[in-house]
Amino acid sequence: VPENLDLVKEIQKLKKEKNAIILAHYYQSKEIQDLSDFLGDSLQLARAAEKTEADMIVFCGVHFMAETAKILNPTKKVVLPDLHAGCSLADNCSGDGLRKMKEEHPSAIVVSYINCDIGVKAESDIIVTSSNAESIIKSLPENQKIIFAPDRNLGRYINQVTGRNMILWDGACIIHEAFSAERIAKQMLENPGAKLIAHPEAQKNVLALADYIGSTARLLDYVVNNESQKFIVATEEGILHEMHKRAPHKELIPALIQDETCNCSECFYMKMNTLEKLYLCMKYELPEILLDENMRVKALKSINKMLELSV
């Protein structure tokens, strides 16, 4: 890429030329969030991908998100600036592994968090995101045996709020697991009146301290609508950009992680997408998400079930 190229201008030009839409997750860099046509949480992004009429979906997020977009809207070209932008949760669980777990619990249905690959989605009955997991689980018959994969923290939290006893796959997000309850408790003491808000992928001891728990979009709404002026935010720091924009006078403090040399939590996978890679991926329409049609159709069933069940 020539050094003097105005990447923002070029990306905007390519967007028009190619009738492309840029979908971005809140954990992307500020520059990418600002350039996006649609910014949202996992559920909102899936819905936006499903209904877009653009010819090319440029997905600024991680691999499973772009893959979900392609599953939902297969006639569109879906590109991801960096194909290596993965997810520790998705890496933790495979379709084969889940099939074995199903064999051990033949009467159970499988509910999987959207942070998983197409193989896991194909083995699942229903997909959920952090914004609809609670209501979807509550809508299932009380005596229904459920396997929940791959996030044990979200699963444990849903078990707690619904009174269910789902069988949990033992996976976690390495970024959210790094939050330190001890250091956060100290931050709360140092900032009286501040509300602690947390993503349900955080560990039990962090969630136990939280005033509010929700998906990225819900955390954002909470900051905008809650009367408090100060928030300690226990999720990936990218969300702070949109929070600052939507609630410019409120004070936002990134929750601390166990590593004492860091003062915020950053997902290196999410940050693998850069403006330069975004420009190149739009110019060359690569790397592209391509799927096996059989798998796609199987995975689509579980995603559609989620869309049906979420209000």
List residues near ligand 13P by CB under 6 A: 41-42, 115, 129-131, 173, 199, 201, 215-216
Q: How far is the CB of 304 from ligand 13P (least distance, A)?
A: 18
- The helix-helix angle for 42-51 and 293-309 (nearest 10°) equals 110
Q: How far is the CB of 130 from ligand 13P (least distance, A)?
A: 4
Length of the chain: 311
| Residue closer to ligand 13P, measured from CB, 282 or 306 | 306
Q: How far is the CB of 13 from ligand 13P (least distance, A)?
A: 29
Q: How far is the CB of 115 from ligand 13P (least distance, A)?
A: 5
| Residue closer to ligand 13P, measured from CB, 20 or 239 | 239
| Residue closer to ligand 13P, measured from CB, 130 or 159 | 130
| Residue closer to ligand 13P, measured from CB, 28 or 42 | 42
Q: How far is the CB of 218 from ligand 13P (least distance, A)?
A: 8
| Residue closer to ligand 13P, measured from CB, 25 or 298 | 25
| Residue closer to ligand 13P, measured from CB, 102 or 199 | 199
Rounded to whole angstroms, how far apart are CA atoms 262 and 38?
Answer: 30
Q: How far is the CB of 1 from ligand 13P (least distance, A)?
A: 29
What are the distances in angstroms from CA 133 to CA 43, 85, 107, 130, 177? Answer: 11, 24, 20, 5, 19
Q: How far is the CB of 151 from ligand 13P (least distance, A)?
A: 9
Q: How far is the CB of 129 from ligand 13P (least distance, A)?
A: 5
| Residue closer to ligand 13P, measured from CB, 42 or 124 | 42
- Helix H, strand E, coil C: the string for the chain is CCCCCCHHHHHHHHHHHCCEEEEEECCCCHHHHHHCCEEECHHHHHHHHHHCCCCEEEEECCHHHHHHHHHHCCCCEEECCCCCCCCHHHHCCCHHHHHHHHHHCCCCEEEEECCCCHHHHHHCCEEECCCCHHHHHHHCCCCCCEEEECEHHHHHHHHHHHCCCCEECCECCCCHHHECHHHHHHHHHHCCCCEEEECCCCCHHHHCCCCEECCHHHHHHHHHHCCCCEEEEECCCCHHHHHHHHCCCCEEEECCECCCCCCCCCCCCHHHCCHHHHHHHHHHCCCECCCCHHHHHHHHHHHHHHHHHCC
| Residue closer to ligand 13P, measured from CB, 36 or 131 | 131
